[in-house]
Structures are given as C-alpha cells and as structure tokens.
Amino acid sequence: MQQLKTKAFAIAFFICSLAFAGANPAEKDKPESIGEAVAEMLSYPNLDLSSDQFVTVAFKVNAKNQIEVLSVETDDYFLKRFITFRLNHEKVNEDLVKTKSHFKVLIKFSELD
C-alpha cells in the first residue's frame, strides 16, 4: 500500500512538472541604454543605507563587451564594493556600446521605508 502511494505521488509530481516546464516565463524587456543595463545589474542591493546616496561610476566596455569598472565615487565602503562586484566583468549587449567605450553614470541609491 505504501509503494502504491509513493508511485502515485511520483506520477502526480511528474505530470505537474511537465505542465510547468512548457510554460514560458515572461520575457524581460531588454535595456535600451547602457544606463538601463547598469541599473538592472545594480537592482536589489542588500545594503542598509541610512539615507539616499548618489554615486558616480566610471567604467569602460572592453572588446569582449564586458564592463571594467574604473572608479566608484562614494565614501561608503560597502556600497563601493557592491557596485564593483556587481558590474565588473559583466557582459552587456554590443548594441548598447556602438558609439563609445567609456561611460560615466550617476546612480541614486534610496533607503527603503
């Protein structure tokens, strides 16, 4: 009797797995600018910010379409490490970097209420 319940559960689990495997997850919109791509890479920081902070990030995109962080202008050590970790050596779509390879972006990090 126990084997029958186990087999029934396994079959039900398999059928449910097949049903969800065929479903296509919602496709994300592709970023239209390098700023949007960077913002997407820096989303959901696990940081405890005491106030809103503005950070200037300078980076270049190499021949392999990877970001190389050149500088992060902030006094917050953990925020600087977070940005460098998230951006350095991340690939970007080559369509976003057709005109130039060096960029400087201003990013606002807001504290959560």
Tens digits of per-residue pLDDT, 8-48?
Answer: 444 554 554 544 555 444 456 777 788 888 888 888 777 77
What pTM did the predictor assign?
Answer: 0.67
Domain extent, residue 64, equals 34-109
pLDDT of 11 reads 52
Asked if residue 47 belongs to a domain, the reply is yes
Asked if residue 21 belongs to a domain, the reply is no
Phi, psi angle pair for 19, to nearest 5°: -65, -40
Domains of the chain: total: 1
pLDDT of 25 reads 47
Asked if residue 79 belongs to a domain, the reply is yes
Tell me if 49 sits within 8 A of 110, measured CB to CB.
yes
Asked if residue 72 belongs to a domain, the reply is yes
Asked if residue 45 belongs to a domain, the reply is yes
Tell me if 77 sits within 8 A of 14, measured CB to CB.
no
